[in-house]
Amino acid sequence: MDKEYVGFAALPNQLHRKSVKKGFDFTLMVAGESGLGKSTLINSLFLTNLYEDRHLPEASARLTQTLTIERRGVEIEEGGIKVKLTLVDTPGFGDSVDCSDCWLPVVRFIEEQFEQYLRDESGLNRKNIQDSRVHCCLYFISPFGRGLRPLDVAFLRAVHDKVNIIPVIAKADALMPKETQALKQRIRDQLKEEEINIYQFPDCDSDEDEDFKRQDAEMKESIPFAVVGSCEVVRDGGTRPVRGRRYSWGTVEVENPHHCDFLNLRRMLVQTHLQDLKEVTHDILYEGYRASCLQSLARPGARDRASRR
Ligand code: GDP
């Protein structure tokens, strides 16, 4: 796996405390149709170019292309503490003409990480387990549709009890603010109707300061985050350089909260909720998986039947 070093401006105190002894592993998956800006967003989030060497398949190859899942490592170091961030990309997802079940390999991948962890936990060296479980999945939704498509629903249903899902509206610069709000509401309604569980932000501690509480409330209200990604630094007429997308009519700034929710997403991922995402993965999602494995051991044949369903 390739490694790159990225300096982080503000590694949260919660991580400092908890990972001072052990170091810290975090695995972030991006999923969704190809071309929605997944790699661009990842590069924008972690200020690095992880996809320089990426080879995009020809259109003809995409028709039958099997899903390949790529893992890339970024080592984040701040104040002597290392966070090993693994990014799992699912290129080509939803690309093929026949998309039925094309998401199964992604589901399988998430389950395999649980299986591995369960094996390691039952093994001899259980103190030094490498945690490769997927702690969070950023799911990219097209800004051009009228909400979730059947493929989105099928994928989200298949993984919602295995991974923390954070839905994002991709390429939000394609939408006017009113359209963005309408699409967000539509997606929230659909998630409710389809009974899809996405990551639930924990309640804010009552002793937090007012500023923190306001930011926290704002962040919760902006789900699904409407994001814009760009690897380019734009200088407009001598003003300060910004990460953005330049159009003939003006510039969309990635880190401008009036333009999109990028900052909210980055803040939650790298500053405020990394630890909680790990805890939910371990205490709820992995525990659920472990319990169902134990149950199926108690009832031989049950697991096979469940996996055939
Ligand atoms: P991926 O296949 O999902 O990883 O998508 P890429 O990151 O390769 O992006 C596909 C194309 O969309 C590229 O031409 C990007 O420059 C463009 N793109 C990426 N992010 C955005 C965005 O936020 N807005 C717009 N308008 N285009 C974007």
Does position 8 have pLDDT exceeding 60, yes or no? no
Task: Supply the pTM of this predicted model.
Answer: 0.84
Average pLDDT over residues 2-28: 55
Give me the percent of the chain exceeding a pLDDT of 90: 40
Which stretches of 149-241 are assigned E, i.e. beta strand?
A: 165-169, 225-226, 233-234
Give pLDDT tens digits for 193-229.
999 999 998 887 777 788 888 888 888 889 999 999 9
Average pLDDT over residues 35-57: 69
Ligand 1 contacts CB of residue 135 (under 6 A): no
Distance between Cα 162 and ligand 1 center (Å): 27
The DSSP bridge partners found for residue 141 are 169
Which pLDDT belongs to residue 84? 81
Does position 304 have pLDDT exceeding 90, yes or no? no
Confidence of residue 109 (pLDDT cuts 50, 70, 90): very high
Ligand 1 contacts CB of residue 142 (under 6 A): no
Which pLDDT belongs to residue 93? 65
Please list, in sequence order, all residues whose beta carbon lies within 8 angstroms of the beta carbon of residue 279, skipping any fewer than 6 positions away.
none
The topology (CATH level 3) of 25-93+102-298 is Rossmann fold (3.40.50)
Domains of the chain, residue spans: 25-93+102-298
Ligand 1 site-directed mutation target among 34, 36, 38, 40, most atoms within 8 Å of CB:
40
Please list, in sequence order, all residues whose beta carbon lies within 8 angstroms of the beta carbon of residue 165, skipping any fewer than 6 positions away.
137, 139, 156, 159, 196, 197, 198, 199
Confidence of residue 300 (pLDDT cuts 50, 70, 90): low
Ligand 1 contacts CB of residue 243 (under 6 A): no
Does position 34 have pLDDT exceeding 90, yes or no? no
Query: How many C-beta neighbours within 10 Å does residue 131 have?
Result: 20
